[in-house]
Amino acid sequence: MVKYYQLRNQFLNRVSLPRKYRHLLSKESVWGWLFLVPTLVSLGLVSVYPVIRAAYLSMNEYNGITPPTWVGPAHYVKILSGWPEFWQVLLNTVSWAFGSIIIMLIVGMGFAVLLNREFRGRNVVQGLLLLPWAMPYIAVALNFQWMYNYNLGVFNGLLRLVGLGAIPWIGSSKFALFSAMLGWVWRNFPFFMISFLAAMKAIPDSLYEAALVDGSSRWELFRHITLPYLQPVIIVTTLLMSLWTFNNFTMIFVLTSGGPGMSSMVLPVYVYNNAFLSNSVGLASAIGMVMMVIMLGYGLVYLQLYRQDIGQV
C-alpha cells in the first residue's frame, strides 16, 4: 500500500496537470477505475463487440466473403413466422436441456444424500464421482462415441451379453438425442452433487435431531428440512446448468452432428451449420440473437424466482 502511494505521488509530481484534474487523480476511487480500464476494454472486445457485430450481420445477407447486403428484419421474420425447421430445432434444444437438467438434478441429489452420510471409503467414492467434472467435453464426447459404437461399443456388448439385440445409439433418430443426453449428464452431474453436498453440510444437525425425536421418517426429514434449505442452491445451479446446456455445442456436434436427419439438431449446432456449411452468416447471426434473447429471458425469470425465494427465508 505504501508503494502505491509513493508511485501515485511521484506520478502527480512529474506530470503537469490543471488543478482540478490533479485533485481528481488524488482520489483512490479514480485510480481504481483507471486500473480497471484495460480489463473493461478487453471485456468489451471479446464480449460486447461480437454481440453488436452479430446484431448488425443479422440484418444483412452475408456469406462471409462478399460485402453484406442489407435486408432489414427479413431473417427474424423468417425465423418467427412459423419456419418449421427452426421450431423443430428449438423443440429439440428445449427437450435436450430440460431432460438433461431433470436427470442431473435427480442423480446429483441422490449422490449428495449418499455422501452426506459417514461410511468407510466415502472420500474415495466422492473423488471418483467428481472425476467426470474434471474431463474436457471433447474427451467425454469421443469416449461416448466409442462406447456407442454399434459393433464394438461397450453398451451393445453388454446388451448382447444378456441376450438382447444391439441398439444404434447414435445412428437412430429414436435414440440419438437421448444418447447425447446421457453423455452430457455423466459429465455434469458432479456439479449438482457437490453443490448440494456443500449446502447439506451447512444444515444444523439440531434440526434433524429434533425431528427424529418427534418421530419423523427419513423421507420427512428430507422433504421438510433438507429440500427447503437446498432451494436457493437448486435455483442457482439449475439456472447455470440450463444456460450451459442450452448453449453447449461440443457434445451434440461430436456425437451426432445433429443427425440422423434433424432428430438431434440443437440451436448451437444449427447456428454453426448455417454459418459455416451453408454460408448463411446473416441467418446464423439472427438465430444466435434469438438464442440470446431466449437465454436472457430465462435467466431473468429464474433470478426473479431466486429473489422471491431468498425473501421468504
Contacts 24+ apart (CB under 8 A), 236-239: 236/306, 237/191, 237/192, 237/195, 237/196, 238/101, 238/105, 238/302, 239/298, 239/299, 239/302, 239/303, 239/306
In terms of residues, how long is the chain? 313
pLDDT (0 to 100) of residue 276:
92
The predicted-structure confidence for 257-290, as pLDDT tens digits, reads as follows 998 989 999 999 999 999 999 999 999 999 999 9
77-312 to CATH, choices 3.30.300.30, 1.10.238.10, 1.10.3720.10, 3.10.20.30: 1.10.3720.10
pLDDT (0 to 100) of residue 2:
47
Distance CA 31, CA 143 (A): 50
What is the residue-averaged pLDDT of the chain? 86
Q: 21 to each of 17, 29, 75, 97, how far by Cα in Å?
A: 6, 14, 49, 53
Ordered by start, the domain boundaries in the chain are: 2-57, 77-312
The predicted-structure confidence for 75-123, as pLDDT tens digits, reads as follows 999 998 888 999 999 999 999 999 999 999 999 999 999 999 888 999 9
Q: Which three cell numbers stand for residue 216?
A: 419423523
pTM beyond 0.75: yes
Phi and psi at residue 217, to the nearest 5°:
-80, 170
Closest by CA position to 86, among listed 286, 301, 307, 302:
286
Q: Which three cell numbers stand for residue 204?
A: 444444523
